[in-house]
C-alpha cells in the first residue's frame, strides 16, 4: 500500500518534503507578505517556516486533509519569534534535504498583491488589534482558512476562533476609520489612497460575513 504524503513526511522522505514545498510555498509567502508588509522579510519567513517544518515533521498528525493549516501554524510561530528562529537558521539549513527549485513569487505578487499603500493602511489597523485577534484575522481572511483549519493552525477550539474573529472584525472597522482619518493629515498621501485603505479592510471583513 502506497504511503500517504503525511506518512512519507513523518518518515523523513525528502521527495515528500519537496512536494509539500512546491504545493504550499506560495500560500505561505502570500500570508507572510500580508502580515509583514515586506516581501524580503516574507521570503525569510518562508525559508524559516519550511526549515521548522522539516525539524518538526514527526509532529504531523498521521491522518488529516491538507497540510497548509499545519504550515501556517508554524509560520505564525515564526512571525512571533523571528529573532529566535533566525538563530537556528544556519544550523538547521545543513539538515534540510536539498531542493533544486528556488521559489519565484513574482507572478503571484503581480496577480495577488494589493497596492502597497492600501496594504499599509490595513496593517496599521491590524497592528492595533490584540495579537490573538490579529492572528485569527490573518489566517481566516488573508490566508483564507476556514474555522476548523484556523483552529488546527493555532491549536485552539473552533469556538475560540469564531469569537476572536468576531471581535477582530468589529475592532478593525473602527481602527481602520481612525487610520484613514489620520492619513488625511499627511500631505504626501496619494490621491485615492484613503479610499483604497477602506476598500481593503471592508473587502476583508465582507469575505468573512458569510
pLDDT of residue 55: 93
pLDDT of residue 83: 46
Give the Cα separation of 54 and 9 in Å (integer). 8
Q: Is the pLDDT of residue 102 over 60?
A: no
The model's pTM: 0.65
Annotate 99-124 with b (16+ C-beta within 10 A) or e (fewer): eeeebebeebeeeeebeebbbbbbbb
Q: Please provide the average confidence, as pLDDT, over all residues in the chain.
A: 75
Helix (H) or strand (E) holding 209: none
Q: Is the pLDDT of residue 87 over 60?
A: no
Q: Is the pLDDT of residue 140 over 80?
A: yes
What's the whole-number mean pLDDT along residues 55-59? 92
Give the Cα separation of 115 and 112 in Å (integer). 10
Q: Is the pLDDT of residue 28 over 90?
A: yes
pLDDT of residue 114: 43
Regarding predicted confidence, which is higher, 104 or 77? 77
Amino acid at each position: 500500500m502506497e504511503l500517504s504524503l503525511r506518512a512519507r513526511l513523518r518518515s523523513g522522505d525528502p521527495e515528500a518534503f519537496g512536494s509539500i514545498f512546491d504545493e504550499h510555498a506560495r500560500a505561505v509567502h502570500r500570508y507572510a507578505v500580508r502580515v509583514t508588509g515586506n516581501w524580503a522579510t516574507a521570503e525569510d519567513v518562508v525559508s524559516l517556516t519550511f526549515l521548522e517544518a522539516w525539524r518538526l515533521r514527526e509532529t504531523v498528525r498521521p491522518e488529516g486533509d491538507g497540510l497548509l493549516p499545519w504550515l501556517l501554524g508554524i509560520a505564525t510561530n515564526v512571525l512571533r519569534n523571528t529573532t529566535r528562529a533566525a538563530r537556528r537558521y544556519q544550523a538547521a539549513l545543513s539538515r534540510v534535504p536539498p531542493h533544486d527549485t528556488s521559489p519565484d513569487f513574482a507572478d503571484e505578487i503581480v496577480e495577488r498583491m494589493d497596492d502597497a499603500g492600501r496594504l499599509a493602511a490595513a496593517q496599521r489597523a491590524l497592528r492595533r488589534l490584540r495579537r490573538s485577534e490579529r492572528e485569527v484575522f490573518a489566517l481566516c481572511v488573508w490566508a483564507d482558512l476556514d474555522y476548523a483549519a484556523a483552529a488546527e493552525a493555532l491549536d485552539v477550539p473552533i469556538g475560540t476562533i469564531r469569537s476572536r474573529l468576531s471581535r477582530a472584525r468589529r475592532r478593525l472597522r473602527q481602527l481602520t476609520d481612525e487610520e484613514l482619518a489620520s492619513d488625511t493629515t499627511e500631505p504626501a498621501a496619494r490621491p485615492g489612497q484613503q479610499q483604497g485603505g477602506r476598500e481593503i479592510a471592508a473587502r476583508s471583513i465582507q469575505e468573512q460575513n458569510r
